[in-house]
């Protein structure tokens, strides 16, 4: 950081906040329900996302019960298993993780960390949440319509997604389409807000290259989402027409359960291209915010600046760009020109380079740091392990020849759970432990947190690690049961039972986490404004929790990057971003740290 | 916004100016928030239309049936003479003209000429509405000739599907634009923008930057039409 420590940047024009009035409602409804305050919207997003995430968790336990103890539970039949797979996958990816990282963490952290009073368009921001809620409710309704939720798999591939024989083709799939469309509309409103706020509404002195990496991650993920969701929307609209109007965008001429279908000449491959043009970036939409948040947690709790900040920013940008040109690695077995396979394998493997850089930088940040083994730190380190694991199995699947035998086996299930399920969820937990003190003013309990961490971390390994071996043995994914399949050894059943028990334990230990959340809200230790002694602006607010408008009468002025930990010559081991250079040696008042 | 903001243009031109802007504090672009948001929205919308058009190309190139001949399908018969592309030429001309009136409305808006702005906005809305009307007329003709989303008398079934879906989606954009332009015209006439009156829903203070942002949307919708026109009527 060349401009380190001094405030050399020219001041731009007065921001629009200076002549904008925030809506300060008086009533309870206005404050907590129809709120336009990004922090309240963030909590609304977070609570809704976690609630629906619990539904997805229950579904995964139901699946695991069937897999571990086949035919013991009469509730689960082959059709409902497919519905569970589909809803579990879709909810986890879109309605839990995307909404949580962008809607909840984005809303809470972007204005605070950029030094803004609120999002640029508070009203639109509020609408975004209500659209999201509607999308969630529509999705839930699909469990209750005749025929139940759709069982097409979260990829919703045609023709089967809308052909007789697939569960939920009456109402379930329609509600899935409706819900996703509403989600996309709502997300667009929020996403425009996040991007404009980061680009246009930062406080004085906050240059792009002084932004905390959390913001960089959320920002790039939002940009990607704004460009990736359109492909999904188009695919949905076309499939909707195929279903309701009898068009043939995706539907070929075929025999269906012995009956000729009413379609001709559609291209199922076109759908796959559109879907994965969304689907692959979606993986990084979930991953980039996690990358950013982990970087900040590591630096704060290791009392050390993040290693290679510029490299980290560029890696995020390069990953975001590259992830738009790798989508067909999900289609190696769908039938494509071998040269295309080669091309997409190459781009896929190239992404490993910036990703590896990030991992090295995280590890180097820890190197010789003054590591505090707090709960957020544990989760962040857990993330590194899990992510490296999932990344390595990704290298297998990125190569066409290795992917062909492994595709659609449990190796894939193990891979993506490691890399995009467990790893980001660990970050979600870490982030909640990290920012809960700012959101509520109280600390979460440490012992409960450590129990939560160790059981979750080791438990997820117990669930998902064996899946890789099952994949090598050829166990296919999305199967309700295997019966007497000659090539699947009997030992797989024992393994399955073991994984299911682990899954139940992991699910149960989440109760400890929720207990901790509720108990600490009332009885937790007072946190004070800056319990982790962090540098970023959200810890320097006048009030904890921050009020509407975030900062006091004056917006903070930023003089340095977000990673001034252990600066030689400074009195304290951290310099908040808004500490003027004069204050560094002069006296010992640290701004934002009133006692 | 432009009226009450000091003009802080980038001190340097070309690449150094670009770098200066991007590494500046507070804001990257010297534009009001509303305009930045509209650009972003348009970018996202570009991806929607791009996906539609790419889908159309894929379907058209992969079908084994013949594709209906545009110059016959879209011909208008006047006085016993079949004139290809007549209706669509008129529609395109109208839509492009409406971009011109929109641009003028923005110009007079910044000049604080309320009356001219409102009138120009209304003309734009009228042109837009007549575009939609003619599109409905064209749909009616095609439907009368037996074109359906699932079949048509001349060849590949996908013709009707992509045609109705894509022109319908674009027509929806135009319709939404017309509605917002009418609302904006009313706001201008009532003086809400000069008086910086807060919006009914959003509470944002009125200003003529809003007309410009709306204008951006409108020009975008017109530009997309040029692509749709080229791909459907000239290919
Ligand atoms: C305790 C946690 C979890 C357990 C026990 C679990 C278990 C499972 C199981 C058993 C399947 C079905 C495998 C099959 O039959 O093919 C599955 C599929 C899936 N899971 Fe999870 N899962 C968990 C968490 C997550 C999370 C957090 C995500 C978020 C990304 C996620 C995303 C998916 C996806 C995308 C699928 C694929 C759905 C499909 O094939 O259509 N899972 N999971
Ligand atoms: Cu991918």
The per-residue DSSP string of chain B comes to -GGGS-----SS-HHHHHHHHHT-BS-SSSS-HHHHHHHHHHHHHHHHHHHHHHHHHHHHHH-SSPPPPHHHHTEEEETTEEEETHHHHHHHHHHHHHHHHHHHHHHHHHTT-HHHHHHHHHHHHHHHHHHHHHHHHHHHHHHHTT-BTTB-TTS-THHHHHHHHHHHHHHHHHHHHHHHHHHHHHHHHHTTTTTTPBPTTT-PBP-THHHHHHHHHHHHHHHHHHHHHIIIII-
Determine the distance separating the centroid of ligand 2 and the alpha carbon of A455, expressed in angstroms: 29
Helix axis angle for A491-523 and A446-472, nearest 10°, is: 160
Beta-carbon contacts of B89 under 8 Å, excluding residues fewer than 6 positions away, are none
- Six-digit token string for A75: 């509730």
Please give, rounded to a whole number of angstroms, the shortest distance from the CA of B22 to a CA of chain A.
7
Please indicate whether residue A413, judged by its CB atom, sits closer than 6 Å to ligand 1: yes
Residue B196 has pLDDT above 90, yes or no: no
Query: Is there a contact between A241 and B149 if contact means CB atoms under 8 Å apart?
Result: yes
**Which neighbouring-strand residues pair with A259?**
A256
The Cα–Cα gap between A226 and B47 comes to 9
The predicted-structure confidence for A303-350, as pLDDT tens digits, reads as follows 999 999 999 999 999 999 999 999 999 999 998 888 899 999 999 999
Helix axis angle for A375-398 and A338-366, nearest 10°, is: 160
Backbone φ and ψ for A574, nearest 5 degrees, come out as: -145, 145
Of B26, B48, B157, the CB nearest to A233: B48
Query: Judged by CB atoms within 8 Å, which residues 194-253 of A form the interface with B?
Result: 195-196, 199-209, 226-227, 229-231, 233-235, 237-238, 241, 245-249
Taking CA–CA distances from A247, the nearest residue in chain B reads: B150
Backbone φ and ψ for A406, nearest 5 degrees, come out as: -90, -20
Residue B60 has pLDDT above 60, yes or no: yes
Q: How many domains does chain A have?
A: 1
pLDDT tier, B144 (very low <50, low <70, confident <90, very high otherwise) = very high
Contact B121, B211 (CB under 8 A): yes
Backbone φ and ψ for A260, nearest 5 degrees, come out as: -70, 140
ipTM of the modeled complex = 0.92
- For chain B, the domains span 27-233
For atom 27 of ligand 1, the residue with the nearest CA is A421
CA dihedral A336, A338, A344, A348 (to 10 degrees): 120
Summary mean pLDDT of chain B: 89
Q: What pLDDT score was predicted for residue A21?
A: 63
Pairing of strands A255-256, A259-260: antiparallel
Instruction: Give me the average pLDDT of each 10-residue run along chain A (595 residues).
Output: 36 53 73 88 97 97 95 90 97 97 97 94 95 98 94 94 91 96 97 96 93 97 97 97 94 87 90 97 96 97 94 96 95 88 94 95 94 96 96 93 93 96 97 97 96 98 96 94 86 94 97 97 93 95 90 90 88 89 67 44
Ligand nearest to the CA of A329: 2
Q: What pLDDT score was predicted for residue B82?
A: 79
Q: What pLDDT score was predicted for residue A3?
A: 37
**Is residue A208 situated within a structural domain?**
yes
User: Looking at domain B27-233, what is its CATH homologous superfamily?
Assistant: Cytochrome c oxidase, subunit III, four-helix bundle (1.20.120.80)
Residue B1 has pLDDT above 60, yes or no: no
Q: Residue for token digits 């599109």?
A: B135
CA distances from A461 to A55, A286, A370, A472, A492 (A): 22, 20, 28, 17, 17
Provide the CATH number for the domain around residue A106: 1.20.210.10
Taking CA–CA distances from B27, the nearest residue in chain A reads: A200
The predicted-structure confidence for B8-26, as pLDDT tens digits, reads as follows 445 567 788 888 888 888 8
String of DSSP letters for A48-105: HHHHHHHHHHHHHHHHHHHHHSTTS-TT--HHHHHHHHHHHHHIIIIIIIIIIIIIII
- Locate all alpha helices (DSSP H) within A115-168, ordered by sequence: 122-141
Which domain covers residue A57, as residue numbers?
A: 40-250
CA dihedral A326, A404, A160, A482 (to 10 degrees): -140
For atom 33 of ligand 1, the residue with the nearest CA is A89
The predicted-structure confidence for A100-152, as pLDDT tens digits, reads as follows 999 999 999 999 999 999 999 999 999 999 999 999 999 999 999 999 999 99
All residues of chain B having their beta carbon less than 8 Å from the beta carbon of residue A270 are 55, 58-59
Residue B106 has pLDDT above 50, yes or no: yes
3-state secondary structure of A525: coil
pTM score, whole prediction: 0.93
The predicted-structure confidence for A436-461, as pLDDT tens digits, reads as follows 999 999 999 999 999 999 999 999 99
Q: What pLDDT score was predicted for residue A74?
A: 86
The predicted-structure confidence for B74-104, as pLDDT tens digits, reads as follows 887 777 777 888 899 999 999 999 999 999 9
Q: Residue for token digits 């006085």?
A: B79
pLDDT tier, B6 (very low <50, low <70, confident <90, very high otherwise) = very low
Query: Judged by CB atoms within 8 Å, which residues 249-278 of A form the interface with B?
Result: 249, 262, 264-267, 270, 273-274, 277
Element (H or E) spanning A315, and its range? helix A309-322
Of B8, B64, B205, the CB nearest to A13: B8
CA distances from B8 to A13, A186, B38, B207 (A): 6, 34, 21, 19
Sequence length of chain B is 235
All residues of chain B having their beta carbon less than 8 Å from the beta carbon of residue A21 are 198, 203
String of DSSP letters for B158-193: HHHHHHHHHHHHHHHHHHHHHHHHHHHHHHHHHTTT
Determine the distance separating the centroid of ligand 1 and the alpha carbon of A479, expressed in angstroms: 13
Q: What pLDDT score was predicted for residue A7?
A: 36
Q: What pLDDT score was predicted for residue A594?
A: 41
**Is residue A31 situated within a structural domain?**
no
Question: Taking the CB of residue A388, how many other CB atoms lie within 10 A of it?
Answer: 17
Determine the distance separating the centroid of ligand 1 and the alpha carbon of A201, expressed in angstroms: 38
Among A395-409, B44-58, B196-210, name the one with the lowest average pLDDT.
Answer: B196-210
**Is residue A130 situated within a structural domain?**
yes
Ligand nearest to the CA of A501: 1
């Amino acid at each position: 950081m060349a401009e380190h420590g001094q405030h050399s940047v020219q001041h731009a024009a007065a921001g629009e906040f200076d002549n904008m009035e925030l809506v300060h409602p008086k009533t309870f409804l206005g404050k907590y329900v129809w709120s336009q305050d990004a922090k309240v919207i963030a909590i609304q997003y977070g609570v809704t996302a976690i609630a629906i995430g619990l539904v997805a968790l229950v579904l995964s336990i139901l699946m695991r019960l069937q897999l571990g103890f086949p035919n013991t539970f009469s509730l689960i039949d082959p059709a409902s298993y497919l519905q569970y797979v589909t809803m579990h996958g879709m909810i986890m990816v879109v309605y839990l993780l995307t909404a949580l990282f962008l809607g909840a963490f984005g809303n809470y952290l972007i204005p605070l960390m950029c030094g803004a009073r609120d999002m640029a368009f508070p009203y639109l921001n509020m609408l975004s949440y209500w659209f999201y809620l509607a999308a969630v409710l529509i999705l839930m309704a699909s469990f209750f319509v005749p025929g139940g939720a759709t069982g097409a798999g979260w990829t919703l591939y045609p023709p089967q997604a809308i052909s007789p024989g697939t569960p939920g083709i009456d109402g379930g799939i329609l509600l899935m389409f409706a819900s996703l469309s509403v989600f996309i509309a709502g997300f667009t409103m929020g996403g425009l807000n996040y991007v404009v706020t980061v680009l246009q509404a930062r406080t004085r002195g906050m240059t792009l290259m002084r932004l905390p990496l959390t913001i960089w991650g959320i920002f790039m993920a939002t940009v990607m989402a704004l460009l990736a969701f359109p492909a999904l929307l188009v695919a949905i609209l076309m499939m909707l027409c195929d279903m309701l109007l009898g068009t043939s965008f995706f539907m070929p001429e075929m025999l269906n359960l012995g009956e000729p279908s009413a379609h001709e000449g559609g291209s199922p491959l076109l759908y796959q291209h559109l879907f994965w043009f969304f689907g692959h970036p979606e993986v990084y939409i979930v991953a980039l915010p996690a990358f950013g948040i982990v970087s900040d947690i590591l630096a704060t709790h290791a009392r050390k600046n993040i290693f290679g900040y510029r490299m980290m920013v560029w890696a995020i940008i390069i990953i975001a760009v590259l992830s738009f040109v790798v989508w067909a690695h999900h289609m190696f077995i769908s039938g494509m020109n071998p040269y295309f396979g080669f091309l997409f394998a190459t781009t896929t493997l190239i992404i490993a380079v910036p990703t590896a850089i990030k991992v090295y930088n995280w590890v180097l940040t820890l190197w010789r740091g003054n590591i505090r083994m707090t709960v957020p730190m544990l989760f962040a380190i857990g993330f590194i392990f899990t992510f490296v694991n999932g990344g390595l199995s990704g290298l297998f699947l990125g190569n066409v020849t290795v992917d062909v035998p492994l595709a659609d086996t449990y190796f894939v299930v193990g891979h993506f759970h490691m890399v995009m399920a467990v790893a980001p969820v660990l970050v979600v937990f870490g982030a909640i432990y990290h920012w809960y003190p700012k959101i509520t003013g109280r600390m979460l309990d440490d012992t409960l947190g450590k129990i939560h961490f160790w059981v979750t971390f080791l438990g997820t390994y117990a669930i998902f690690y064996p899946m890789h071996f099952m994949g090598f043995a050829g166990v296919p994914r999305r199967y309700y049961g295997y019966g007497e399949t000659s090539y699947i050894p009997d030992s797989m059943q024992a393994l399955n039972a073991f994984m299911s028990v682990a899954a139940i334990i992991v699910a149960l230990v989440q109760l400890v986490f929720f207990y901790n959340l509720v108990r600490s809200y009332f009885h937790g230790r007072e946190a004070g404004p800056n319990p982790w002694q962090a540098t970023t602006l959200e810890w320097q607010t006048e009030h904890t929790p921050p009020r509407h408008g975030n900062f006091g009468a004056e917006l903070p002025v930023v003089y340095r990057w977000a990673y001034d930990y252990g600066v030689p010559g400074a009195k304290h081991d951290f310099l908040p971003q808004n500490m003027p250079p004069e204050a560094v040696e002069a006296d010992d008042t640290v701004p934002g740290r009133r006692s | 916004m432009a009226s009450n903001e000091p003009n802080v243009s980038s001190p340097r031109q070309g690449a150094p100016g670009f770098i200066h802007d991007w590494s500046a504090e507070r804001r990257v672009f010297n534009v009001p928030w509303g305009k930045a948001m509209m650009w972003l929205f348009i970018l996202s919308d570009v991806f929607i239309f791009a996906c539609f058009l790419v889908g159309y190309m894929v379907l058209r190139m992969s079908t084994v049936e013949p594709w209906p001949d545009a110059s016959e399908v879209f011909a208008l018969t006047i006085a016993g003479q079949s004139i290809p592309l007549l209706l669509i030429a008129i529609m395109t001309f109208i839509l492009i003209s409406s971009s011109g009136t929109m641009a003028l409305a923005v110009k007079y808006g910044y000049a604080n000429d309320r009356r001219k702005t409102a009138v120009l906005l209304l003309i734009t809305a009228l042109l837009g509405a007549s575009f939609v009307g003619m599109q409905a007329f064209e749909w009616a003709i095609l439907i009368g000739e037996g074109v359906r989303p699932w079949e048509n008398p001349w060849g590949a079934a996908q013709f009707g599907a992509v045609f109705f879906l894509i022109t319908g989606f674009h027509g929806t954009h135009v319709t939404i634009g017309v509605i917002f332009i009418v609302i904006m015209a009313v706001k201008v006439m009532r003086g809400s923008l000069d008086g910086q009156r807060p919006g009914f829903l959003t509470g944002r203070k009125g200003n003529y930057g809003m007309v410009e942002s709306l204008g951006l949307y409108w020009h975008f919708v017109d530009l997309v039409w040029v692509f749709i026109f080229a791909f459907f009527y000239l290919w």
